[in-house]
Amino acid sequence: MRHDKEVRVESAREQGNISEILSRNGITYRPQPEDGDIAKIWAFGLKPGGFLSYYIGLAWLEEGRLALRASPKVDSLDYQRMFAECLRSPAAAPYLGSAYDIRIDKPFIACPDEAFDITPLVVLHYLTVLRDLLSKPLRKDYLSREENLKAKLKGKVMLSAHLAKNVFAQRPDRIMCRYQEFSTDCPENRLLHSAYRMGLGCLRSWHGKNSLTPARAMIFDDLERSFDGIGYISNAVGRIRLKHNPLYREYGEALRLAKLIMRIQGYRDLAATSQERLVPPYIIDMSKLFELYVLALMRAELGRSIRFQSSGRYGAVDFIDTERRIVIDAKYKTKYGEDYVIEDIRQVSGYARDVGILNKLGLRSEEERDRVVDCLIIYPDPAAPDFDKRYYEKESMGIKEFYRIRKLGIRLPIRT
């Protein structure tokens, strides 16, 4: 899993141009997936002409030879705090898995910069999902047990083992049996327990080193008691056979993240002799993360009047405010501080005239639909104050070229 060739790591900014890097290293452009699947994105969503898209992270341009690390376009942006804020939000947390992708099957990349290690964010994500999972009864399954029972019979007698261990050893009070037991000590829960211990150790080692410190307000240490009577896995995580059970649907995301943590730890154990910091290749969709960050802020201040991804006849809009009857779109574009993007105006205007969206806003009669529905575009603004209800209701700014289309800046967390 290591490479004999020297690996180079180039640097770029989100939405920057890397045509010179591609040309210098003899790398040709590859088309991006049409479905926009983040797991298939190459080179941070590279577009013709060498321009990167709205992705940051650390990934291979040419496996084993050249890697690229892309930093946020907003100076000193603390995307880790954005991530943690989304995790604290019951509204945003379920969607967070779609905002990033880790290429766990690719070789890890040596990177000395701690800020580019995705592992603590994955651990925080896992522990948050696990905390919600453990608030409900744990999954149980039938497990095969073998035990040398005293003065009782359970299940089937293991004749060969019974003869060897008891009859020939002159232990007439014992019977070697195999039986089924309905227990929480199943492979799925053992995997969750093992990943929990590994993850908690990782988080403790990072505490105080970077901007993840505020996220430590979420206490995970007390989850250990929920694993009473549950062991750990001892074999390779890839060999564990996990059964799908429709009664425990919420296990899916927790098990996916647990396997991810175990594989990251396993890779690092194999490379324990290396003096380099090995980081799994990953990308973060900053446009999606910004959308979820806005959702977390708005739902915390405005409650359930904010509805996320409401579908109409035309498509799904980012947000609608059912109380104030506003159609809202989040755009991760700093340009809105001074200007606007006409394609975005057309898009949000289309949503405001979508019959399905109007129905969800409570505008059902012809008379109600004759009014012009308010539209709001939310964008990142380093100079904006903290978001609250008053700011949302009073401080949006009209775009003078359009009627009842406004914009509102959201301040993003900055590293100090």
264 within some domain: no
Give how far Cα 387 sits from Cα of 23, 286, 288, Å.
Answer: 44, 19, 19
CA distances in angstroms from 337 to 8, 194, 342, 382, listed in the order given: 37, 47, 14, 9
What is the structure's pLDDT at 1? 45
| Helical residues (DSSP H) of 107-221, grouped into ranges | 119-133, 159-162, 187-206
Give the chain's domain count: 2
300-346: per-residue pLDDT in tens? Answer: 999 999 999 999 888 899 999 999 999 999 999 989 988 899 999 99
User: Using CA atoms, how far apart are residues 81 and 149, in angstroms rounded to an integer?
Assistant: 54
Give a yes or no: residue 296 inside a domain: yes
Q: Do 179 and 294 fall within a single domain?
A: no
Out of 123, 151, 183, a domain closes at 183
The verdict on residue 330 lying in a domain is yes
- CATH code of the domain in which 305 resides: 3.40.1350
Domain span including residue 380: 287-410
End residue of a domain, out of 132, 160, 183: 183
- Dmax over Cα atoms in the chain, in whole Å? 96
Global pTM? 0.86
Take residue 18 and report the two structure tokens written for it.
Answer: 């890397």
Assess if residue 66 is contained within a domain.
no
* Domain identity same for 293 and 406: yes
- Sorting pLDDT into bands at 50, 70 and 90, what band is 396? confident
Q: Which residue in this structure is represented by tokens 């399905």?
A: 356
Last residue of a domain, one of 183, 204, 238: 183
Long-range contacts of 145-149 (CB under 8 A, 24+ apart): 145/178, 145/179, 145/180, 145/181, 146/176, 146/177, 146/178, 147/176, 147/177, 147/179, 148/174, 148/175, 148/176, 148/177, 149/174, 149/175, 149/176, 149/177
Q: In whole angstroms, what is the distance from residue 310 CA to residue 318 CA?
A: 7
Confirm whether 325 is domain-assigned.
Answer: yes
Question: What is the per-residue pLDDT for 196?
Answer: 93
- The confidence band for 217, taking pLDDT boundaries of 50, 70 and 90, is very low
Q: What is the mean pLDDT of residues 340-366?
A: 91
Strand partners, 327: 320, 375
Judge whether 60 lies within some domain: no
Residue 203 in any domain: the answer is no
Q: Are 253 and 213 in contact (CB under 8 A)?
A: no
User: 128, 93, 39, 44: which is closest to 293 by C-alpha?
Assistant: 93
| β partners of residue 320 | 307, 327
Q: Is residue 96 part of a domain?
A: no
| Predicted confidence (pLDDT) per residue in 133-173, tens digit | 998 889 888 888 888 998 788 888 898 899 988 988 889 88
